[in-house]
Amino acid sequence: MKWLIALLFTLNTHHAAAESSPLSGVWQILSTIYDSEEQQIRQPPQIKVFTDKHVFYTYYDPNLNTDEPYLSVGHGTYTLSGGTLSETIENHSNTALVGQTFAVSIEVSEDGDTFEQVVDLGKYVLRERWGRIE
């Protein structure tokens, strides 16, 4: 009987560990709408990589005083709960953002191949649509 309880516990623990976030994978930006205006997707396109707990991403920093923004990077941890994605920045090209947590509304498509995130910036709203590439 003890072996049966141990087996069931092991199987249950393995099943729980095998469950992964619906965001796990590699994503590419498909579209960006800022203040109701569609923005041009810069090349190379931005990428986000989600593991079960971490997020790594590239982005274009528009605050640099250059003609062409630089492709920059950041990473941290995240949680996904009830349609809210919270990312806590652990390292970032803009060191002022390290340690901050950002929460955005998110909706993953039924097939799991796209997601849309909505960032409420107060006066403006940023909508990004991402597509799974792996």
**What is residue 71's three-state secondary structure?**
strand
Phi and psi for 105 in degrees, rounded to 5? Answer: -80, 140
Buried b (16+ CB within 10 A) or exposed e, 58-82: bbbeeeeeeeeeebeebebebebee
Query: For position 39, what pLDDT does the model report?
Result: 92
DSSP state of 96: G
Please determine, for residue 2, whether its predicted confidence score (pLDDT) is greater than 70.
no
In this prediction, residues 15-31 reach a mean pLDDT of 81
pLDDT band per the 50, 70, 90 thresholds, residue 122: confident
Residue with tokens 């590439």: 133
DSSP state of 2: H
Domains, in order of start, for the chain? 21-132 (2.40.128.490)
- pLDDT, averaged across the chain: 85
Contact by Cβ (8 Å): 116, 106: yes
